Amino acid sequence: MKRLLLVLIPLVFVGCNSSTDRPIKDSLSKQPEKSAGRKFFDYDEIDYYFSRYGDGDVVTLHENRSRSKIDSLKLDVILGDIPKHLSDTLFISKLELIGYKKGTIDQSKFRAIDRIFVEKPMKNWIGYTCIRIYNDILIFKKQKKVIGTAKVCLGCLAHQIIGTNANTENFGQDGDYERLGKLLGK
């Protein structure tokens, strides 16, 4: 816990908005371009949850030693790895309770979403220079059943994608985070 705090606090002061916080691209790792692969999800509905937590909110929440169960869940969703598995869907019903607002993605945007959430070849290695804060969460559904989740930090260009057999490792290549941000109204 102390180690996390020692790493977390200096990074918070650096923040995600300074000019040095852009992704670090390794131009040596470029590979030949290939066409896109499998779609991540076969869905008919996307719920979209969004929040505006910032570095200060996260530090305050993390430093709170008498954290409630809801605050612990909030910290695990915002910074952590909840959900760990596709079967971990209980957190979805609590997203609004922990400060997220719910919306839906209009079906007219599904084709554009499909071009983002698809296997891609590696073009550039991207490193992150800030704390990932998952303010944007997409819940993919098929016939009202949750089939996948995507937590995204548009500031750090980080993601956590659950529920697909496709290779998500290269998610975000070629400006996908920027395109996703525009689709989400950012």
pLDDT value at residue 185: 92
Q: Do residues 151 and 88 make contact, with C-beta atoms less than 8 angstroms apart?
A: no
Reported as a pLDDT band with limits 50, 70 and 90, residue 36 is low
Q: Do residues 40 and 161 make contact, with C-beta atoms less than 8 angstroms apart?
A: yes
Reported as a pLDDT band with limits 50, 70 and 90, residue 95 is very high
User: With pLDDT > 70 as the criterion, what percentage of the chain qualifies?
Assistant: 77
Query: Exposed (0-12), middle (13-18) or buried (19+): which is 167, by Cβ within 10 Å?
Result: middle
> With 90 as the cut, is the pLDDT of residue 160 above it?
yes
Give the pTM: 0.79
* Host H or E run for residue 180: helix 176-183
Q: Do residues 122 and 19 make contact, with C-beta atoms less than 8 angstroms apart?
A: no
Report, as an integer, the average pLDDT of 84-95: 93
pLDDT value at residue 152: 95
Reported as a pLDDT band with limits 50, 70 and 90, residue 27 is very low
